[in-house]
Amino acid sequence: MTRETAPNSARKSLEEVEIELFLKGIYEWYGYDYREYAYSSIKRRIWHRVHAEKSATVLKLLDKVLHDPECFQRLLEDFSINVTEMFRDPLFFLQFREEVVPLLRTYPSIRIWHAGCSTGEEVYSMAILLHEEGLYDKTKIYATDINANVLKIAKNGQFPLENMKKYTSNYLQSGGKKAFSEYYTVTNHGVKFHPFLTKNVVFAQHNLVTDRSFNEFHVILCRNVLIYFNKPLQQKVHDLFYESLGRFGILGLGDKETISFTEKSACYKELSRKQKLYQKLK
């Protein structure tokens, strides 16, 4: 059966064929695998770069990306989702204080993985929370992201001053115990969070799609990252998290994410359905 005679329902559109070839080319040449990202999201970002680079088609953009590493870096910035804030979804952090902190107190040392940490606001939030609960000195936080540029921002710990009003409100709603301004200094370029908040933090590149587990953790937080993956890739990442969590370890997800569809869902106890906190039991 030729393409001309194939039923319409069986055909891929030319756009789908080009995007499939585009993502395969990126993977084969650069090793970054976006083939199982949510299609509508990745398509939108590819077309944004097509127009920005003044390319006529997706495949012409692929030709440029393969021969121009700087163009590839611009594409990576488009593919990287960096929406975050301090104490994002403050009731999540309040629930963490109430439900998870008592468990962490029983451990001689604590390992936490922030997967997909972006520019680091939630990493600093967790460091503040643990400091206030007297747990930070025995904690090691591993903050990872696929994007090296956002990790540089996270390491620097400098954020816009205009965000502090919202961040202060979030902090107070999350059960904060001090004046939020005690944790940062105002500079000419925004606010700089105090260095002690990162003394126990390791920032590193890690690709959830292609990289393996690198430690056993008491807590894994991956919030509002998996929504950009298709279901098979979500399952693959959940397998990685399951492998990386110790027994009775805690998994924290974003408000639109769940483990209910995964093969390992029966291995977890739900600590908070609304705040998406789960405890691994076996």
Q: pLDDT (tens digit, 9 = 90+) per residue, 108-125?
A: 999 999 999 999 999 999
Is residue 123 domain-shared with residue 69, that is, in the same domain?
A: no
Q: CATH number of the domain that 186 lies in?
A: 3.40.50.150
Q: Which residue has the higher pLDDT, 37 or 203?
A: 203
192 and 96 within one domain: yes
3-state DSSP assignment of residue 149? helix
Domain count, the chain: 2
Instruction: Give the model's confidence band at 272: pLDDT under 50 very low, under 70 low, under 90 confident, else very high.
Output: very high
Does residue 84 form part of some domain?
no
The average pLDDT across 160-182 equals: 97
Q: What's residue 11's pLDDT?
A: 75
User: Do 177 and 271 belong to one domain?
Assistant: yes
Would the CA dihedral through 265, 271, 272, 276 be positive or negative? negative
Query: Is 3 contained in some domain?
Result: no
Same domain, 251 and 212: yes
Does residue 66 lie in a domain region? yes
Q: Taking the CA of residue 99 as centre, how many other CA atoms within 13 Å lie in the half-sphere pointing to its CB?
A: 23
Residues 28 and 104 in one domain: no
Mean per-residue pLDDT, 243-267: 94
For residue 158, is pLDDT > 70? yes
* pLDDT at residue 85 tops 90: yes
Same domain, 159 and 36: no
pLDDT of residue 10: 60
- Average confidence (pLDDT) over 46-65: 95
The average pLDDT across 241-262 equals 95
pLDDT recorded at residue 251: 98
Q: What is the mean pLDDT of the chain?
A: 93
Asked whether the predicted pLDDT for residue 247 surpasses 60, the reply is: yes
H or E element that contains 71? helix 69-79
Provide the residue range defining the domain that includes 19: 8-79
30 and 155 both lie in a single domain: no
Predicted confidence at residue 32, as pLDDT, reads: 86
Residue 198 is assigned to a structural domain of this protein = yes
% pLDDT > 90, the chain: 81
Kindly state whether residues 107 and 34 are assigned to the same domain. no
Per-residue pLDDT reduced to its tens digit, 4-47: 545 555 678 999 999 999 999 999 999 888 888 888 889 999 99
Per-residue pLDDT for 2 more than 50?
A: no
Q: Which of 25, 55, 79 is the last residue of a domain?
A: 79
Q: Is residue 41 part of a domain?
A: yes
Per-residue model confidence (pLDDT) at position 118:
93
In this prediction, residue 89 carries a pLDDT of 95
Position 136 pLDDT exceeds 50: yes
Q: In the listed set 79, 100, 134, which residue is the last one of a domain according to the structure?
A: 79
How many Å apart are CA 32 and CA 225, to the nearest integer?
16
> CB–CB of 134/128 below 8 Å?
no
Exposure pattern of 188-210 as b/e (b: 16+ CB <10 Å)? eeebebbeebbebbebeebebbe
The average pLDDT across 180-206 equals: 96
Q: What integer pLDDT is reported at residue 31 of this predicted model?
A: 86
Based on the fold, state whether residues 167 and 263 are members of the same structural domain: yes
Based on the fold, state whether residues 38 and 111 are members of the same structural domain: no
User: How confident is the model over 265-277, as a mean pLDDT?
Assistant: 94
- Looking at the structure, tell me whether residues 25 and 127 fall in a common domain: no
Do residue 204 and residue 248 come from a single domain? yes
